[in-house]
Structure 1
């Protein structure tokens, strides 16, 4: 997976930045920052790590991609950065007072092992705070109408809400809480469904390149044909009919909180 991360990392920060609303949601799940050390798992180029550090959290950001970590280090020396994967964390037991992970659990080769490692490095009763998509929500993204194969492969990578709950429970987490999140028109972080209200966003190749669904799963012919149809539908007004057909009450993403038993 390192090559995929490094590919995405090439132009990642042009479109990706910490969204204040998501930062608030994550900090609310972590609790007061005075408690001790925190881990940002799969931190990428450090946008959310640095934003949370600005709120007073003492953070270590860990990622498997050297390119991403290089970008993170260039942005902040106030955060500790570490190279490593989620399945075998390079930290001692009970090191951290909280773990945060943003839009990354679908990249983990073994999510069960990753959650087990999170429990191992957390102090007793410490929280894990996730911001993620889930398979059921993704089936209601209107992107499925234009990029069906890429979306199908991306959905296959994404755990469902039930799978997340089951794996956290099996890893020894308790007090699970799920909160749905709907993409807003002023969202600042341009991840997969960030263009829900701005379909023109997906017409730009550089925007798609910073999103793993397109960078990892996108077939060139399908993407080209989907972009053409999307452009035409925007121009004719048909897009609004497509958008309405995918309206869902499930929300677009999830905040997930649990704590180590």
Structure 2
């Protein structure tokens, strides 16, 4: 995984900026206090770590990619950036007040082991806010029409809500709330379904490079053919019919809010 993101890391910040609305939602769900210490696990180049720290909260950023962390360090030297993973953070018992995980859990090698580690470092009643997508939600992306194999492979690596819930429960954590998120037209973070309402975005090679499904999972020929078909449908107006056929009430992404039990001692 670190090799994949070392490759993506070079121009990642050009398209993967912290989105203001998502940042605000993290604060709402985590409800942090300015005396606490928080962790951004799988922080990448630290876009959200930096945005949350600039709101007045103290953060640690952990990621397995040295390339990503070097970019993060150059941006904000006030944050403690550490090489590590969700399974092995290197942090001590009950050392953080809360955790955020943005579009990262599908890269974790072992969900139960990862959540057990996060439960270990989390203080009693501390929260974990996960931003992810489920296979069910992804099946409703109109991208399936143009890049079916890429989306199939992406869905295979994406854990379902049921699997996440089971892994959390095994680790001594429990889901307290979930909230669907649908792509907004002014989204600043160009992740996979960023072009839901603006298909033209997918013709930007830099945007595709910053999306792991395109840069690491996709077959080059499928992407080329998919883009040709997409271009034709945009020019003919057929794209509106395709997009309409995929409309659903599932939401595009999902916030999962989990909490550690209070210290019974």
- Give the C-alpha shift of residue 175 in structure 1: 4.4
Secondary structure in 2 matching 1:97: strand
Aligned partners of 2:252 and 2:178: how far apart in 1?
Answer: 13
Question: TM-score normalised to the size of structure 2?
Answer: 0.96
Contact 2:165 2:174 in 1 (8 A): no
Please give the alpha-carbon distance, in whole angstroms, between the structure 2 residues aligned to 1:134 and 1:83. Answer: 27
Secondary structure in structure 2 of the residue aligned to 1:34: coil
1:163-242 equivalences in 2 (<5 Å): 163-242=163-242
Runs of 4+ in 1 over 2 A off after TM superposition: 32-35
Identify unmatched segments of 5+ residues in structure 2: none
Residues of 2 paired with 1:32 and 1:231: CA distance?
A: 45
What is the deviation of 1:22?
0.4
Cα distance, 1:35 vs. partner? 4.1
User: What TM-score results when the alignment is normalised by the length of structure 1?
Assistant: 0.98
Distance in 1 between the 2:11 and 2:232 partners? 27
Instruction: Kindly state the Cα deviation for residue 161 of structure 1 after the two structures are TM-superposed.
Output: 1.4
Contact 2:16–2:191 (Cα < 8 Å) also in 1: yes
- Over 3 Å counting, the alpha-carbon distance change for 1:35 and 1:169 in structure 2 is farther
Name the counterpart of 2:243. 243
Q: CA deviation at 1:43?
A: 0.3
Q: Is the 8 A contact 1:93 1:122 kept in 2?
A: yes
Q: Could you tell me whether the CA contact under 8 Å between 1:33 and 1:58 is conserved in 2? A: no
Secondary structure of residue in 1 paired with 2:151 = helix
Shift in Å, 1:78? 1.4
Residue in 2 aligned with 1:115?
115
1: CA distance, partners of 2:123 / 2:88: 17
Structure 1 counterpart SS, 2:117 = helix
Query: CA separation in 2, counterparts of 1:105 and 1:35?
Result: 27
**Count of aligned residue pairs for this structure pair:** 261
Structure 1: gaps (5+ residues): none
CA contact (8 A) 2:32 2:98 kept: no
* Residue matched to 1:153: 153
